[in-house]
Amino acid sequence: MTTTASRQTLPALPHWQTEPADLAAAIREIKPALRERIEASGRSVEEAFAAVESRVLPRVREVVAAREAGEPVWPTIDYDDIAAGTVTDEQRELVSRRGCLVVRGHFEREQALAWDAGVVDYVERNSFFENYRGPGDDFFGSVGSTPEIYPIYWSGPQMEARQSDRMARVQSFLNSFWRHESEGRQWFDPERDALYPDRIRRRPPGTDSGGLGTHSDPGTLDLWMTSEYQQAFRHLFDGDVEAYDPWDAAHRTTGPQYPGSTMCSAFRTFQGWTALSDMDHDQGVLHTVPVPEVMAYLMLRPLLHDVPEDEMCGVTTGQVFPASERWHADVLEALTGIPDVRAGDSVWWHCDMIHSVAPVTDQRGWGNVMYIPAAPWCPRNERYAESVREAFLTGSSPSDFPAEHYERDWSGRFTRESLNETGRRGLDLA
């Protein structure tokens, strides 16, 4: 552990660039340090948190009111408008406000259905179901011996989608909501994506699923404890919570992340997936708390004095960041599901936002998606790209995921020769 003061006038913050050996001790050390720093602004922690609430809770109420009035909460934009540059200012404003988006017709429906069939063909011809060894992690819960999450990364359909012009266009549009240059630095390149490889979900008709509880994905204790995140959240920790901008990438794209079985080494502007089947809104779909500023609430809530001094509202390393009724009930009221989507639509949400997957009983129709985020080129993603490149060339599971390596000797894997320029740039392969 080392201590530095980023500004002369403010109390220094201890920081841990790798996971602290004694988490409870580190928490007991960081919390008073953060409070002292906030209080140097002349505001108590309670006052700073109240200021966050006054930013966030009206937005929560706005979402609840819209939902109860039957108005759409999730913005939807046609791919054709993104491609033609005819997205209106009102549409942009709503994406910025809600932090999420459905892109209608991102891919032709027939293309998405053909990709879905292509995935089935790829796994069947390689006897995946016969050789499936069960979930490699418990992130999505056990679903018995039939896989729901396919730990498959290198099929033709996935790589074709990742390196497609249509995907690059939407990722560039999404990246444009972020401030990527400041302090004389470019924090990421909005026009180059790192092709973050992730899995496939194929959930069959008739499925009973418990869903996935409310959580956030950007990190765990590192969000309070590494010097980079302390700078990224500087306005919160300096007590100037009004200046906090959830779309500012400064200091977010360079630092380390504490390891964990559910980690994402990459910086993602948006998490996302592309639908490979039609899905109705009541069939166990994705929900978010569509208020990006809620991150300020999540970050300051553990500093209030009703939270035990060695706890961070349930956040710990090696587990997903939970959003709970116990600590975050006021903002969870805004949890809202996506509208009906069709194969070829894509769904996106700001990387910090609370999300969940609703439970479903006797699911109607398939629930099939390819997880493809927007992960623009930056120091963090360049570091991770090295292991991605190796995984791609050998058909291995990427290092963020369980080491299952099903595809190493599979036939029909996407090959280096099939990369286009976007694919080569994304993997940094000449």
- Which is nearest to 288 in space by CA: 360, 372, 353? 353
User: How many CA atoms are closer than 13 Å to the CA of 313, on its beta-carbon side?
Assistant: 24
**What are the b/e assignments for 407-425, b being 16+ CB within 10 Å?**
beebeebbeeeebeebbeb
User: What residues have CB less than 8 Å from 91, skipping those under 6 apart?
Assistant: 75, 77, 81
Which CB, 3 or 324, lies closer to Fe ion? 324
Taking the complex as a whole, the smallest distance from the CB of residue 320 to Fe ion amounts, in Å, to 7
Please identify, using beta-carbon distances, which residue of 104 and 201 lies nearer to Fe ion. 201
* Torsions phi, psi for 288 (to 5 deg): -135, 160
**What is the closest distance, in whole angstroms, from the C-beta atom of residue 149 to Fe ion in the complex?**
12
Shortest spacing between CB 357 and Fe ion, in angstroms: 8
Residues sharing a CB contact under 8 Å with residue 58, sequence separation 6 or more, in sequence order: none
Map residues 191-230 to x or -, x wherever contact with Fe ion holds by CB under 5 A.
--------------------------x-------------
Task: Identify the helix (H) or strand (E) that includes residue 402.
Answer: none
In the complex, residue closest to Fe ion by CB? 217
Name the residue nearer to Fe ion (CB basis): 29 or 217: 217
| Dihedral sign (CA 84, 85, 91, 94) | positive
Nearest approach, Cβ of 243 to Fe ion (angstroms)?
A: 28
Cβ at position 254, least distance to Fe ion in Å: 23
Distances (CA, A) of 256 to 27, 29, 235, 305, 401: 18, 20, 20, 29, 17
Which residues 247-286 are close enough to bind Fe ion by CB under 5 A?
A: none
Shorter beta-carbon distance to Fe ion: residue 371 or 410 = 371
Q: Which residue's CB is nearer to Fe ion, number 216 or number 397?
A: 216
Applying CB under 5 A, what is the total number of residues that bind Fe ion?
Answer: 1
- Residue placing its CB nearer to Fe ion in the complex, 217 or 407: 217
Residues 44-83 that bind Fe ion (CB under 5 A): none
Choice between 236 and 357, CB closer to Fe ion? 357
Residue nearer to Fe ion on the CB measure, 217 or 345: 217
What percent of the residues of the chain are helix, what percent strand, and what percent coil, each to the nearest 5?
A: 35, 15, 45
The residue to which tokens 């004694």 are assigned: 22
Residues 6+ apart with CB under 8 A from 25: 310
Smallest gap from residue 219 Cβ to Fe ion (A):
12
358 phi and psi, to 5 degrees? -70, 150
In angstroms, what is the minimal distance from the CB of 286 to Fe ion? 9
Residue 339's Cβ-count burial label (10 Å; 0-12, 13-18, 19+) is middle
By CB under 5 A, tell whether 400 contacts Fe ion: no
Q: Which residue number, 214 or 396, has a Cβ lying nearer to Fe ion?
A: 214
Distance separating alpha carbons of residues 282 and 64, to the nearest angstrom:
18
Residue 212 Cβ vs Fe ion, minimum distance, rounded to whole Å: 7
Q: How far is the CB of 376 from Fe ion (least distance, A)?
A: 19
Residue number, 217 or 222, with CB nearest to Fe ion: 217
Tell me the closest approach of the beta carbon of residue 222 to Fe ion, in angstroms: 16
Cβ-based nearer residue to Fe ion, 218 or 426: 218
> What Å distances lie between residue 85 and 16, 45, 70, 77, 314, CA to CA?
44, 44, 29, 11, 43
Which of these, 120, 121, 119, 153, lies nearest to 136 by C-alpha position? 153
The number of residues in the chain equals 430
The total of other beta-carbon atoms located within 10 Å of residue 88's CB is 10
On whether the CB atoms of residues 100 and 273 are closer than 8 A, the answer is: no
CB of 215 to Fe ion, least distance (A): 6
Binding interface with Fe ion (CB under 5 A): 217
